[in-house]
Amino acid sequence: MATKSQPATRIRTCHACGRQYEYPLKGNSATRHHCEDCVEVPEHLRRVAERLFARVQTLETALKRIENKLAGN
């Protein structure tokens, strides 16, 4: 019976707060999508945080696009 090998440690970005963290780390409660701090937050609040974080990222990208466009003129 073959066992799955543990994947290499990677730098991940939390879907709720945007913090970067290493995953997987032995003894760390972080999951694939959430850092060790956000994994403790109740799921319904974490989902709200994820939506807000995604919206902030979208707005930041749009702002950078506008800034680049204005700098080019």
pLDDT digits (tens, 9 = 90+) for 15-57: 999 999 999 988 899 999 999 999 999 999 999 999 999 999 9
Q: Would residue 4 count as lying in a domain?
A: no
* Res 53: pLDDT: 97
Q: Would residue 3 count as lying in a domain?
A: no
**Residues near 30 by beta carbon (within 8 Å), at least 6 away in sequence:** 12, 21, 22, 23, 24, 36, 39
* Res 19: pLDDT: 96
Domain count of the fold of the chain = 1
Kindly indicate the confidence band of residue 12, based on its pLDDT and cuts at 50, 70 and 90. very high
Q: Is the pLDDT of residue 5 over 70?
A: no
Q: Would residue 36 count as lying in a domain?
A: yes
Q: Would residue 61 count as lying in a domain?
A: yes
Q: Would residue 2 count as lying in a domain?
A: no
Contact 19, 37 (CB under 8 A): yes
Whole-model pTM: value is 0.76
* Res 6: pLDDT: 57
Q: Would residue 1 count as lying in a domain?
A: no
Which domain range does residue 49 map to? 10-72
Q: Is the pLDDT of residue 9 over 90?
A: no
